[in-house]
Structures are given as C-alpha cells and as structure tokens.
A and B are shown apart, each in its own frame.
Chain A
C-alpha cells in the first residue's frame, strides 16, 4: 500500500510528466488558456493514460515479451493509444460537445502525446507490476491535470500583465512555464520522506 502511494505521489509531483520530464508540452501550452478546457483536457489524458496502461501491460507481458518482440512495443502501444483516443473523441462528441469543441485539434493530438506513450513505456522499463503500472498511470494523469490547472491560472495572469512587446505571447508563456516547473523541483525527495 505504502509503495503504491509513493508511486502515485511521485508520478504526480516529483516526476510530473509535464514539469520535470517535459513530456506533453504541446497540449500543456495549447489548452491551458482556459480553466475549464484545461480540466477537460486533463481528464481526457488521465482517462487515456489509465486505459492505455490497462491494455498495454498485458499486451506487452503476454504477447510481445514471450516472443522476443520487445522492439515492437512503441508501435503496438501507439495503436492502443490511438484506439482509446478515438474512443474518447466519440464519447466527448456525443456527451459533452462543448468540451469537444473547446479542445479542438488537441484532442486527436493526444494520440501522439508523448506523455501517454511515455507513461506506458516507462511502466515497462521501471519493471512495475500490473497494479503499480495502473497507479503510476493514474498519478501521471493527475499530475498532468494538476500542471495544466495551475498553469492555466498562471497564464490568465501572464496574459493580462503588461510585458514588453518582445516577450508577449509565446515567449512569456514559456518563461512562466519554466518558473512553474522550477517550483515543482521542490517536491523532489519530499514524497519518499513522507511515506518512509
């Protein structure tokens, strides 16, 4: 139980995919303009991460690894991720069309979001078992959501601030992102300390 919590929180905070591993920057910068679409994007990514991990783990352990096909895992995982992204796209279009529209092009882009592929591959590389993999994926998804939510708040202030012409727009956003990611560095060592 303790190790599960350590995995969950370290995936969320210390090893936050966006802010310390720099994966999934594209939706992080693209969808963080509004709080509600940021929350929707975070939920969608979390869903895809967890579902993809539930599928990729057995596929890897029972289909790829026994036959020495580890080198094909990237292709197989992308296929599975694409399946879930398509699925969530249909569900959102049907159930929450407003969110579907506000996410726009970033929703199908989850397919190639390296954070999702990163989670599934890192789970394998870290030698996690099935349960740990799911917890890690959940933590990574929640961490992504957290980063997006925090940054959408930061960004609404940055956009209103009076900044020099040169830095307006993307540069200011990137600088703000780097500062937020520095703040996440302070979590390192904390998670292990709490649960030890």
Chain B
C-alpha cells in the first residue's frame, strides 16, 4: 500500500516542492526588472508591425520608447492618436506626429507609356527591372507588376492598367511600398494639401515625350508660376517642397503636360 501508492505521491510532491523552491530562488537571483510602462505603451500602438518606425515591430518600438527614450511620434499608422497616448504614459510632450501618405510619382498607364519589349519571366517589378531596366520605354516609370501591392499591410494599393494606384483612405503611410519599389517611384510625404508631380523621369523633355504621353518635360513653367518657392526643376524633373507648398494650384494650371495634381487633403 505505502510503496505502491503513497510513496510515489510523496516523492513527486517532494520533487515538485523542491523544484518550486529552486525556481523561486533562481527567479530572485536572475530577476529582470521590466518596466510596466512598456506594456502600456505597446497597447497604445496600433499593432500593425509595419516597421515604419525603424524597429522590428510595435513591441520593440514600445521598449525603445521606455528604455532608450525614443521619440513617441515615430509611429506613422498610429499618427497623432498614438503619439498623444504614449506621451501621456511617458509624461513628455509628443511633438506633432504627422500622418504620412504614399504617392505614386508616375501617372502613365499602359495606354500612355510605350513598351519596348515583352518580358517573359516571373512578373515582379524587381525581376522586370533587372532585365534592361524594365519593359517600358521610360526607365523611371512605375513597372506595374505590383511588388508594392504585395507588401502593403493595409491592402491600399491596386495595380490597374500597369500603374500602381493608392487608396488614400486606406494608406497608413508606413513606407513599405517605397522600400520595395525598384524604381523609387513611390514618395512618402506628409498628409496635407499639396501639389504632386506625378512623374519621376530624369530624362530630357524630348526623350520623355518619345516614350510617354504623361511625363514631366522639365519646362520650368511651374517654377516660374510658384509664389512660394515650393517647386523646382532639378535633373529635368519638377519636385515639390511639401513644407512650402500651399496647394494654390497655379503650377497645375500652367503645366503643359498636366502632370501636376493637387491633393486636397
């Protein structure tokens, strides 16, 4: 009776208690003090794990905020909302957390850009780019194979007629698409009323005209129109300084190729 039933029970109870005591002692010796604020900050983040803040995920960023004093306003999907909550937890002022958005700086769909050859491989932008810089005549254009759409965490990008189109209401501004685009055609800019030049071609005007019906020819008419010194033509392409632009719309009116658009929001 004793050997068959009671002894094993006592033995295992004893071993269990011993193990428990050992572990308790060890947990005291090897205690790692974790800040309860890390969890709170983590909860304030949107948990998209997009990596736009520069850390590998939301929990990593939360840790960096609490332990290394990282800025609370780096979360782009969370925007001002997260930043306010985090700064409340941490007791520091947030600074303006600007919501950002991705813009495809190319407006040429299949109809308006000339195709040089057929690409018969696995159709991804990166593959297409490797082969003579892509199948389009314009080597700066959107390659239109949807590498950006594949990485978008919020499914805001669709490819239509060989051009990536971003749904502004869905875009969280994380910048994943800009990172994978082999032509760097996607720009991440602040979400504000501003002008967008929907072309990235650094070719001279004549070369642009030869391959695309909707490209910036670098005529500098917009530069002359702008009263705020916000648009400049460098490398044969107009660029908008989004901090200075007031979205007055004068450049867009004058643009002979209608490549400048005005974003209302």
Contacts and interface: CB of A to CB of B under 8 A. Distances in A.
Interface of A: 59, 63, 67-69, 72, 75-76, 79-80, 82-83, 86-87, 90-91, 93-95, 97
Contacts of B8: 67, 69, 72
22 contacts: A59-B15, A67-B7, A67-B8, A68-B3, A69-B7, A69-B8, A72-B8, A76-B12, A79-B16, A80-B15, A83-B19, A83-B22, A83-B23, A86-B23, A87-B22, A87-B26, A90-B30, A91-B26, A93-B30, A94-B30, A94-B31, A94-B32
A169 to B, nearest CB: 16
A93 B12 contact: no
Q: Nearest 7 A-B pairs (CB), nearest first?
A: A90-B30, A94-B30, A83-B19, A93-B32, A86-B23, A90-B26, A94-B32
A68 B12 CA distance: 14
Given A67-B3, A67-B7, A69-B8, A90 B16 contact: no
A18 B23 CA distance: 29
Contacts of B31: 94
B15 A79 contact: yes
Contacts of A87: 22-23, 26
A87 B20 CA distance: 11
Interface in B1-45: 3, 7-8, 11-12, 15-16, 19, 22-23, 26-27, 30-32
Contacts of A83: 19, 22-23
Which secondary structure dominates chain B's binding surface? helix
Q: Which of B8, B12, B23, B27 has the most CB of A within 10 A?
A: B8
Nearest to A83: B19
Interface string B197-215: 0000000000000000000
A87 B30 CA distance: 9
A57 B15 CA distance: 14
Contacts of B23: 83, 86-87
A65 B27 CA distance: 32
B46 to A, nearest CB: 22
Interface of B: 3, 7-8, 11-12, 15-16, 19, 22-23, 26-27, 30-32
A87 B11 CA distance: 22
A72 B7 CA distance: 12
Contacts of A63: 11
Contacts of A72: 8, 12
A82 B19 CA distance: 9
A76 B27 contact: no
Nearest to B11: A63
A80 B20 CA distance: 11
A120 to B, nearest CB: 15
